[in-house]
Structure 1
Amino acid sequence: MNPAAPHTTTPATTAPVSEQDLFSDHTLAHTEEVYGELRSLGTVVYLPANDAYAITRYEAIRTANSDPATFSSRQVAFNPQMNEILSGTSLASDPPQHGKLRAILTDNLSPRAMRSLKGTIYADADTLVRELVEKRTFDGMADLAVAFPVSVVLDLIGVQGDKRDRILPWGEAAFNLLGPLNQRARESFPLAGELFKWTHEEMTGDGLAEGSIGHAVWQAAERGDIAPESFGYLVHQILAAGMDTTIATIGNLIQLLADHPDQYAKLRRDPSKIPAAVAETLRFRTPAPGFGRVTTRDVEVDGVTIPAGSQVALLYGSGNRDELKYENPDVFDIDRNPVDHLGFGYGIHGCAGQGLAKLEINGLVESWIRHVDSFTVTDVIPRLNNFSRPYASMQVTITA
């Protein structure tokens, strides 16, 4: 365990200071603990290790996300190279550019579009779960949490051929590059470069299945609805971000239900609680717990002035454990049903793919509670990533 980080408190209009590093091995492995310490210092905490102002409280995070004119997404990553690469994506743009780019995603990922996929996704989920039940023991990450969303998203994007095997390591590398240029990020550059080269230089709409979202984005570029270069950016964004957080959430939910058999029994008795269980998982163990912003002007947040041009870290995972927002926030309780959680972000940059993520997770859980009376999870091994919080593996054993 890392020793308690020293901190000092400076005058009223400046932020308390913590020596914690948001991207250290210790923080990545003990995110909720570190975020709790930062939250106890104040709503805004300055982190010299990251040269960033962390916003820790739920209401302040929502307010910042509601004000893109002040909290710009031009610095969503914590290094200048990645921010330059992301320029031109909906993730790293502000209004009015953001609206046109975002519309291409939301048109294809809208609730109406997702409804047409529900039958197929639920049927595929049931097939996978029944196969795993027959195995009795399996790797909950590779065989369940990874296998299902990777298959669904690649079909949705229209990715075909040998590139399918490369997508998962590409996506994980892209998430590492959203942090600072630490060792994890530097080691990820070659893989992330392969993804960038494919999406921006090699891929064409002809290589994506007709009727897929990827093909639709290419057609939008061909019509002139978006700039030609935006095609690669948008597909890059969907592929990099469309799976990792869903994978992490499935793994988190399986582990949490195994660790809380009373909650699993409650869920089996009342399957209508599935959406609440998913929401509570996203609150309790946020899969992408922090995102970057940059201030365009001096702004006061809860009595602290953040100077113009400052890197800001919106700690969604901290806001989701804010005791001023949620009663007993460190308790996993599916009856809480926190529909207002920050697990998908908030505001104009809220996760465009959350409808698909919910379909995938809900479909798996519905089949899981139907076929599995009880199960255990052991040998959980985390995988440290600068931006997401996945597990590398976990052994799932179906006991009944």
Structure 2
Amino acid sequence: MAASALEYACSDFDPFAWDTRIDPYPAYAALRAKAPIVRLEKYGIFAVPRFAEIKAVFADHLNFSNAGGAGIVNYFKEKPWRPPSIVLEADPPLHTRTRKVLARIMSPGAMRGLENGFKAKAVALVNELIEKRSFDAVRDLAEVFPVTVFPDALGIDNEGRENFLTYGAMVFAGMGPENDYFRTLMAQAPQVLPWVAAKCQREALAPGSFGAQVYEAADSGEVTQDEAPLLVRSFLSAGLDTTISAIGMALFSLTRHPEQWAVLAANPSLARAAFDESLRYDSAAPYVFRTTPHETEIAGVPIGKHEKLLLLIGSANRDETRWERPDQFDITRRVSGHIGFGTGIHGCVGQMIARLEGEAVLAALAASVASIETTGEPVYRDSSGLRALSSLPVRVTTK
């Protein structure tokens, strides 16, 4: 079934190049116009740029496996630098067991229990910042808020929480080819990885917390005792790094579209819709990988065993065959169906808590801020796995 390279549409597109990551959308449009699946010659992988095919891959875990790794490294052929996630980088039946536990812990009822506290803490933080009039929307808000509220829910104390940011940066920077940013982060691994592992142990977690509930599931036999700390670790990407990046990119989108900020400021109840539209318009998680466990095909194109597929989520969410005015940022858009959180059995299990955090921040700002504008150039993080900012200096005008 394997086909020669000549049978594929091929491209010299480099999704990990710095210029591409700053503005990938023209290249995405060219790929969508080219073919439903394109061989990226530089890396020997396939890119899937269109909404329909990506959604089909998400729905088919039998032919497109997560166990091969969420990044470019092929776990069927190479050993990963850390134990794989037993949720994101696992297939059924293991994934079925672990996902069931996380989904129960992060239930709609549990989210309602967190909502008032999250909103109150967002208002307090935002009020402190807007008194200054100028602040860094990433360093002072998008990073600070999730690291303040989510480890509390997970049951982890305050000591050393900045290590969570380093760990999350390692995970996502490692999704693409190694670069200097990833190597710099990995130099901290001897200190950070043992710290994270210790914080995921039963004795480090507050009673009744999300983390403690994982160990209750282990005690009842739903997961093993060895799996429990890995499952606690899975919460970190669900509630921290991707959420931080998503909040930062949402604020960036709103500063670039002052007319949309005016709509939100006039109606702060649109905060959740604004967060979702930002996930569609400029996704903080622009891609994810799948790996073929055996020979298969996409859109009639044969794909060999153990091939890496780059699912271009950021491209799919701008696909003109799925969205009207796809390149327009519109917080009043009916945006249900975007795949910023993925979909299918591996759809982001933490998406409700990410939305809760994003909504809390945007609503708190919109309630008091009439306008928001940048006061300097945004600084992109050199992560090959996230579309994220490390700095966004802003100035606000209060109502």
Equivalence map 1:371-386=2 (5 Å): 371-379=368-376, 380-386=378-384
CA distance in 1, matches of 2:265, 2:196: 42
Give the direction of change, closer, same or farther, for the CA distance of 1:229–1:178 in structure 2 (3 Å limit).
farther
Q: Select which of 12, 22, 34 maps to 1:29.
A: 22
Equivalence map 1:1-400=2 (5 Å): 14-75=7-68, 76-79=70-73, 80=75, 83=80, 85-87=82-84, 89-192=86-189, 194-200=191-197, 203-379=200-376, 380-400=378-398
Alpha-carbon deviations, 1:191-220, whole Å to 9, x = none?
345444334467521111112111221232
CA distance in 1, matches of 2:354, 2:199: 28
Give the direction of change, closer, same or farther, for the CA distance of 1:45–1:218 in structure 2 (3 Å limit).
same
CA distance in 1, matches of 2:191, 2:340: 29
Structure 2 gaps, min length 5: none
Q: Cα distance, 1:48 vs. partner?
A: 2.2
Q: Cα distance, 1:363 vs. partner?
A: 1.3
Alpha-carbon deviations, 1:156-193, whole Å to 9, x = none?
11221423121111211121112233443333323345
Q: Is the 8 A contact 1:171 1:192 kept in 2?
A: no
How many residues were matched structurally? 390
User: Could you say which residue in structure 2 is the equivalent of 1:6?
Assistant: none
Give the direction of change, closer, same or farther, for the CA distance of 1:46–1:165 in structure 2 (3 Å limit).
same
Q: Is the 8 A contact 1:82 1:177 kept in 2?
A: no
**3-state SS, counterpart of residue 391 of structure 2:** strand
CA distance in 1, matches of 2:345, 2:80: 18
**3-state SS, counterpart of residue 399 of structure 1:** strand
Alpha-carbon deviations, 1:313-334, whole Å to 9, x = none?
1111110011111122111111
**3-state SS, counterpart of residue 72 of structure 1:** coil
CA distance in 2, matches of 1:374, 1:202: 40
Q: Is the 8 A contact 2:272 2:358 kept in 1?
A: no
Alpha-carbon deviations, 1:70-97, whole Å to 9, x = none?
0000122211456473446111111111
Alpha-carbon deviations, 1:365-384, whole Å to 9, x = none?
11111111112123211112
TM-score by length of structure 2 reads 0.92
Structure 1 gaps, min length 5: 1-8
CA distance in 2, matches of 1:356, 1:83: 28
Q: Is the 8 A contact 1:375 1:397 kept in 2?
A: yes
CA distance in 2, matches of 1:301, 1:203: 39
CA distance in 2, matches of 1:268, 1:47: 43
Give the direction of change, closer, same or farther, for the CA distance of 1:50–1:86 in structure 2 (3 Å limit).
farther
Q: Detail structure 1 runs of 4+ shifted over 6 Å in the superposition.
A: none
Alpha-carbon deviations, 1:35-87, whole Å to 9, x = none?
22322221101112222111110011011010000000012221145647344
Alpha-carbon deviations, 1:231-284, whole Å to 9, x = none?
222222222442122112211222222221221222233333322211110000
Q: Is the 8 A contact 1:221 1:227 kept in 2?
A: yes
CA distance in 2, matches of 1:237, 1:88: 7
CA distance in 2, matches of 1:15, 1:368: 48
CA RMSD of aligned residues (A): 2.1
